[in-house]
């Protein structure tokens, strides 16, 4: 999936834009503005991604000749007042390869974040979804506040470089003040540059956009594939529009029952588990592990490295230095996928020699920074959506009280994930609720996939999502694997189950386990 944004305690929770969606049985209405539901999209060859989308080249045609097309859809800026102006929502698609007689409809993807651009994400992972494309147009979009969809703007690239080097694990009152000052400065910049948009980027706003999208694309039901935060967006959609759910898959599932503190603590446990798995894997290699002799030695040496970087950063990518915070970001990024473990080993080995380039490259990937020094709007969108969704506003007192619990969950990552709970403490827009409402009685079956080794959305969230969706809606499938997500792992059992459901409507037996 697209590289995740800077980890925050609130990055994986969402709620409602209005009180009504929080109440069971209150959703299900369709957008009624005829000018919007009847709009015709003008599909054209896709341009190169914009700077907020991450930049780069225009997507290349697929090997079988599939062309990427882009369009913009008009949506109300304020769904509580649909006639008070519109925003543009950027879309991308590639047509189904199997012909009109085989086509089911449009399969809409959200790859997570919040803050990830679907316009850049879908082409990057299109090969993984080739089988699904035989019967679906593959479609994705930049959710509101993201990329080319009324992007939230905060600090410029130079200011972000400085912001991301702030010590995220303060050791004294002076460092605490610097952390708070950095957060307050970032949040103030978001209000100054995007204040009018900040109240309108909640997950329920994006869910309503998706239902408008469904209608504009000509589908009677929503066919959907949500990954990570995309599972939460899908759950909120199912709550609002249960009768409009067609076939939907939730992969790398967000726990909808948790508040931001609980979600952050769950991530601390999840990333510690991933680190444990990485360390065991490294020392089991026939060629040996260059960063430790035993799993505990690997983790001890990482802890020593991070402590030394707290006191004295090392050269990274000139002119920037690899700080403790950026090194932690780099390690976290590598733990998202087992395919990145070899780069974590390389980065750690070089850092022990005083060279921080590889760990900094990994951190840049996590934070949406490209090789030209520019940032996508991944971080601003992530913060804006999360803080608009999440009701709690944590203080230094809250964090310090919880530090022992976070450190017990993860000696290496606990402090960072605890202190990042301060991100919304002075946000300009109040949060909507403590956790999202995803109850969807009467919705069609939704396939919910949990990965036992997932660091960012721990496995337990899948069963809780199934329960929260309601009886007869969620169907749980377990993948015993590593990394964030299951379908892109190319595990045949997972692929076959998902493909059979989305392409033929055949659901696996509840409790199916793939390994």
Q: Which residues are tagged catalytic?
A: 228, 454, 484
Contact yes or no for 70/45 (Cβ under 8 A): yes
Cα gap 30→464, rounded to integer Å: 28
Q: Which residue has the tokens 């090194």?
A: 327
- Give 500: exposed, middle or buried? Use CB within 10 Å, 0-12, 13-18, 19+: middle
Expressed in angstroms, the distance from the first to the final Cα of the chain is 20
**86 close to 74: Cβ distance less than 8 angstroms:** yes
Phi-psi region of 285 (alpha: psi -120 to 50; beta: other; left: phi over 0): beta
What the block records as the tokens of 436 is 């999202």
Nearest to 381 by CA among 125, 54, 21, 17: 54
> Taking Cα atoms as reference points, which of 331, 320, 332 lies closest to residue 357?
320
C-alpha distances (whole Å) from 419 to each of 7, 265, 349, 412 are 11, 11, 28, 13
Q: In this structure, what token pair is assigned to residue 85?
A: 């102006």
Nearest by Cα to 476 from 256, 226, 251, 224? 251
Compute the distance between CA of residue 506 and CA of residue 498 in angstroms, rounded to an integer: 9
Q: Which residue stretches of 195-259 are H helix? A: 203-217, 229-240
Closest listed residue to residue 479, CA positions, set 505, 501, 498, 452? 452
Buried b (16+ CB within 10 A) or exposed e, 70-95: bbbbbbbbbbeebeeebbebbbbbbb
Alpha-carbon distances of 264 from 40, 180, 198, 243, 268, rounded to whole Å: 42, 19, 23, 33, 6
Rounded to a whole number of angstroms, the CA Rg of the chain reads 22
Q: Is 297 helix (H, G, I), strand (E, B) or coil?
A: helix
CA 353 to CA 157: how far, in whole Å? 29
Q: How far apart are CA 122 and CA 124, in angstroms?
A: 5
């Amino acid at each position: 999936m697209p590289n995740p944004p800077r980890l925050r305690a609130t990055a994986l929770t969402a709620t409602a834009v209005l009180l009504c969606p929080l109440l069971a049985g209150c959703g299900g209405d369709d957008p009624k503005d005829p000018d919007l539901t009847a709009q015709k999209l003008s599909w054209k060859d896709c341009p190169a991604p914009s700077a907020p989308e991450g930049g780069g080249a225009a997507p290349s045609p697929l090997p079988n000749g599939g062309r990427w097309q882009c369009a913009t859809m008009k949506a109300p800026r304020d769904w509580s007042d649909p006639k008070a102006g519109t925003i543009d929502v950027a879309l991308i698609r590639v047509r189904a390869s199997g012909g009109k007689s085989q086509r089911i409809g449009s399969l809409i993807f959200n790859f997570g974040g919040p803050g990830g651009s679907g316009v850049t994400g879908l082409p990057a992972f299109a090969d993984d979804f080739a089988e699904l494309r035989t019967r679906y147009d593959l479609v994705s979009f930049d959710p509101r506040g993201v990329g080319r969809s009324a992007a939230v703007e905060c600090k410029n690239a130079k200011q972000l470089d400085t912001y991301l080097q702030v010590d995220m694990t303060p050791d004294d009152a002076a460092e605490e003040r610097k952390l708070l000052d950095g957060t307050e400065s970032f949040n103030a910049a978001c209000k100054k540059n995007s204040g009018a948009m900040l109240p309108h980027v909640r997950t329920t706003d994006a869910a309503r956009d998706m239902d408008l999208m469904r209608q504009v694309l000509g589908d009677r039901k929503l066919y959907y594939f949500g990954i990570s935060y995309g599972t939460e967006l899908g759950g909120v959609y199912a709550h609002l529009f249960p009768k409009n759910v067609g076939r939907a898959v939730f992969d790398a599932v967000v726990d909808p029952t948790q508040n931001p503190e609980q979600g952050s603590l769950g991530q601390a446990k999840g990333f510690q588990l991933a680190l444990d798995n990485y360390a065991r894997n490294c020392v089991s290699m026939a060629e040996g592990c260059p960063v430790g002799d035993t799993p505990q030695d690997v983790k001890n040496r990482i802890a020593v490295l991070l402590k030394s970087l707290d006191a004295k950063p090392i050269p990274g990518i000139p002119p920037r230095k690899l700080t403790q915070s950026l090194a932690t970001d780099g390690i976290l990024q590598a733990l998202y996928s087992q395919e990145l473990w070899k780069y974590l080993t390389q980065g750690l080995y070089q850092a022990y020699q005083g060279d921080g380039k590889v760990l900094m490259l990994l951190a840049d990937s996590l934070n949406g920074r490209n090789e030209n020094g520019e940032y996508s709007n991944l971080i601003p969108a992530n913060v804006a959506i999360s803080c608009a969704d999440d009701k709690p506003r944590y203080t230094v007192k809250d964090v310090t009280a919880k530090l022992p619990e976070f450190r017990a969950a993860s000696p290496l990552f606990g402090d960072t994930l605890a202190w990042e709970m301060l991100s919304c403490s002075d946000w300009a827009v109040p949060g909507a609720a403590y956790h999202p409402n995803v109850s969807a009685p009467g919705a069609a079956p939704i396939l919910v996939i949990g990965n036992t080794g997932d660091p960012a959305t721990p496995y337990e969230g899948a069963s809780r999502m199934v329960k929260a969706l309601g009886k007869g809606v969620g169907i749980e499938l377990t993948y015993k694997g590593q990394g964030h997500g299951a379908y892109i792992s190319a595990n045949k059992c997972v692929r076959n189950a998902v493909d059979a459901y989305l392409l033929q409507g055949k659901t696996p037996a509840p409790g199916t386990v793939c390994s």
